[in-house]
Amino acid sequence: MDTQVVNIQVFGRTLKLTCPVNEVESLDLAAKDLDNRLNELRHKTKLMNSDQLIITAALNMSYELTKQKQKNMQLENQFNDRLKKIQNLLDNVLNSNSL
């Protein structure tokens, strides 16, 4: 897989990262999202310490990811339940027609 060195700006800092070529755009979007979150957090809170801001932003993002994973799991379970009901209905129809 081809990689590319990318300069990313986050919170006034430039980071040089190696990234798969086909993921450069996604990495750039993620960096912009993080930068926006950090700047927004700085303006909303009294936190001025960069470490506190970064940890708070990371916790917020981790929380959002955890909630999304839970939601996805719930949707997957609902989908599987509906699929089983459809399979049972089909089995019943096929069995009743074979008599």
What CATH number is given to the structural domain containing 22? Answer: 3.30.160.880
Asked if residue 78 belongs to a domain, the reply is: no
Indicate if the pLDDT at residue 5 is higher than 90: yes
Asked if residue 99 belongs to a domain, the reply is: no
Asked if residue 18 belongs to a domain, the reply is: yes
Asked if residue 86 belongs to a domain, the reply is: no
**Beta-carbon-side half-sphere exposure of residue 27 (alpha carbons within 13 Å):** 17
- pLDDT for res 47: 76
Give tens-digit pLDDT for 15-60: 999 999 999 999 999 999 999 999 999 999 987 788 999 999 999 9
- pLDDT for res 98: 67
How many domains, in total, are found in the chain?
Answer: 1
How many helices (H) and strands (E) in the chain? 2, 2
Asked if residue 90 belongs to a domain, the reply is: no
| Structural domain span for residue 27 | 3-73
Asked if residue 8 belongs to a domain, the reply is: yes
